[in-house]
Chain A
Amino acid sequence: MNFLEKLLALDRRIIFLFIAIAVALPLFFTVKLHIEVTPVVRNLHNALEALPPGSKVLVSLDYDPGSMPELQPMAESFFRYCFMRDLKIIIIGLWPNGPIQANSALEVILNEPDIKKKNPKYGMDYVNLGYTAGNEVVIERMGSDIPVTFPKDYSGNKTEDIPLMKGVKNFNNIDFVYNLSAGYPGTVEWVLFGVDPYKIKLGAGNTAVQAPQIYPYLNSGQLVGLLGGMKGGAEFEIATGHPAKAVKFMFSQSVSHALICFFILIGNFAYFATRKKKGA
């Protein structure tokens, strides 16, 4: 068996090893990748920029640990952006794990030096209202009364007593809604039960697999902007001028994508070369 034939029947484990290296090694470096911000992300960023400081932003985290690699960086970069711009954050979850994910993202962001200087206060600048069962019905109920839908926050305080929630009755008192979604219930439900009846302004981040199903809502204008998968997360970080986890992870993405393409090419090269030989 010569080299080319060996290459043709390459042991899978060699590919596995290269993939592991291609993903792990770039994590040690911080590289300024050129990532172009696509219009769908740009639109979301512009809509957020238009909000005056003090605006109230509702963040619905509708995912679980399975989608953390893609959506957690989006949650972190969004919280960072809000704190820097003095936007008030109201967190909820339509998935039971959402508010837990929010807390772990907040833990990361609140420890960043820039944010520490701002010193956001729980109850004044951000609040976590926790999870309520009922999927899309929760959105409908929030349309008429948010404090009734979420009577207590994540740690059991009465929603009415929280300073940030003063004057927040329903969607009329919310300036923007941001939804991170990994499936049902998620962005589709926010569009159908939030945007359509209550005319809320909605931006979303989705897993890459989910994103194509959401595109029609962008074209129709029901959705302001969309972050699709890790790349969308990275674009948002670039747009907000604060490259972080997603940008860093994108280096791994590029290297591993390039590696797969490279393997496909050498596989075909070996295939052609051996075929020629046999023909000769």
Chain B
Amino acid sequence: MKKTKAVLFSILIILFFFNLSFPQENLSPLPPTEVRASDTPNDNGHSITVTWKLSGDDGADKKNVVAYEILRSDSPTGEFIVRGMVPAGNNTYQDRGAKEKEDKNYFHPHKDFYYKVRAKTLNSYSESEVAGPAQAYGEWFHLGKLPVFVGTVTFTIMVLAFISLARKGKEFYVRPLAGIDAVDDAIGRATEMGRPILYILGLGSAADIATIASFTILNRIAKKTAEHKTKIIVPCNDPIVMSVAQETVKAGYLDAGRPDMYKEENIFYLTSMQFAYVAAVNGIMLREQTATNFYLGKFYAESLILAETGSVAGSIQISGTDEIAQIPFFVAATDFTLIGEELYAASAYLGREPLLLGALKAQDLAKAIVMISLALGALAASFHLGFFLKLFTVQM
């Protein structure tokens, strides 16, 4: 025991002196080994992945390796330049570059590259053998996204199948929805009171799915207001939304056979800034004394300001959004709320168009599949069967 201690001590002393006289060479760490370079899978073709086995001096007790530098060259004997650095403990690096030819950092695809990995300590380093050649190329299908692909194809087939069933005249049952039944009453009330209806499409752009769902509902409601000869006001916060809303309302008036009653100036643009828009809509509610307010689409923090002001004005309010954080405020402050998915379903409900109802059925079928997967998945997980989870795991 004593002997080993003495030996260790003398080794330390020797190391110490060597260190003083030859600071560089003798502190060189062991080099990284088994360096491999290959094309990065599932990418656009401007990247190569380098992997290696950690240096023998990279570890909790030795700790003298602090980082790895990754070097690249066009030829195994040519000049190697540093491409990047990762901290100790890492054994992969993605050498990535730009895809634009004019970019300084352009990464040439389909060209041979050679790699070296350098293990670095604070004052020394050692290099691995050269790996390569490797070429970068782009893939035509992202394998990690296979579950999404399967989902896309299945869901598309389901929607198209139900729609074709609807085309063939199959009748579908859908359960009643409180918010939808309230729409007719709300329009009737405005007519009786002789006051206008306010329709807010939210802050979404014309391309937001919730806004598009809301356009369809607006179209149905415009048709009904035209039949009742009630004024409908649609202030917008996006110019494209305004243009579309004008077309939609006009179409509703055409459907009702009253194109003469359509007034473009009632569908107007205010401003695209959230709270300035709200300030103006608040004013409209109180000054026009709207009898019924619809808030359907994308809503953010302004939801509660609108709903509370509308309630001060004594309007009947029907709301709906897929913006999950705002649903609680609509539920608390408006008379009827279409929660999340119900907003999308509403267009099918209001129009009773068989095609739209068919799509709704496909949605329900998909939901059933999801519910079964949830139940089976949880059971599988309870018995430590990991394969089920893999079916839903998407690699980006």
Contact = CB atoms under 8 A, between A and B. Distances in A.
Interface of A: 12, 144, 170, 172, 197-199, 209
B67 interface: yes
Nearest to B90: A199
A12 B312 contact: yes
Contacts of A12: 308, 312
B280 interface: no
Contact of A144 (B67, B84, B308, B325): B84
B87 interface: yes
Interface string B89-121: 010000000000000000000000000000000
Nearest to B84: A144
B87 A199 contact: yes
A172 B87 contact: yes
A209 B325 contact: yes
B91 to A, nearest CB: 13
B312 A172 contact: no
B85 interface: yes
Interface string B64-98: 00010000000000000000111100100000000
12 contacts: A12-B308, A12-B312, A144-B84, A170-B85, A172-B67, A172-B85, A172-B87, A197-B86, A198-B87, A199-B87, A199-B90, A209-B325
Which label, helix, strand, loop or mixed, suits the secondary structure of the B interface?
Answer: strand
Contacts of A209: 325
A209 B326 CA distance: 11
Nearest to B67: A172
Contacts of B325: 209
Interface residues of B, number: 9
Contacts of B84: 144
A171 to B, nearest CB: 9
Contacts of B85: 170, 172
A144 B67 CA distance: 13
Interface string B302-316: 000000100010000
A170 B85 CA distance: 10
A156 B84 CA distance: 29
Nearest to A13: B312
Nearest to A144: B84
A12 B314 CA distance: 13
Nearest to B87: A199
Contacts of B312: 12
A197 B86 CA distance: 8
Nearest to B325: A209
Query: Which of B87, B308, B325 has the largest count of A CB atoms less than 10 A from its CB?
Result: B87
The 6 closest A-B pairs by CB, nearest first: A199-B87, A144-B84, A12-B312, A172-B67, A172-B87, A209-B325
Interface string B257-292: 000000000000000000000000000000000000
A79 to B, nearest CB: 28
Contacts of B67: 172
Contacts of B90: 199
Contacts of A198: 87
Nearest to B96: A140
A170 B87 CA distance: 12
Given A197-B86, A198-B87, A199-B87, 9 more contacts: A12-B308, A12-B312, A144-B84, A170-B85, A172-B67, A172-B85, A172-B87, A199-B90, A209-B325
A198 B312 CA distance: 54
A199 B308 CA distance: 47
Nearest to B301: A209
Contacts of A197: 86
A183 B312 CA distance: 32
Contacts of A170: 85
Contacts of A144: 84
B138 to A, nearest CB: 20
A115 B87 CA distance: 36
B313 to A, nearest CB: 12
Nearest to B88: A199
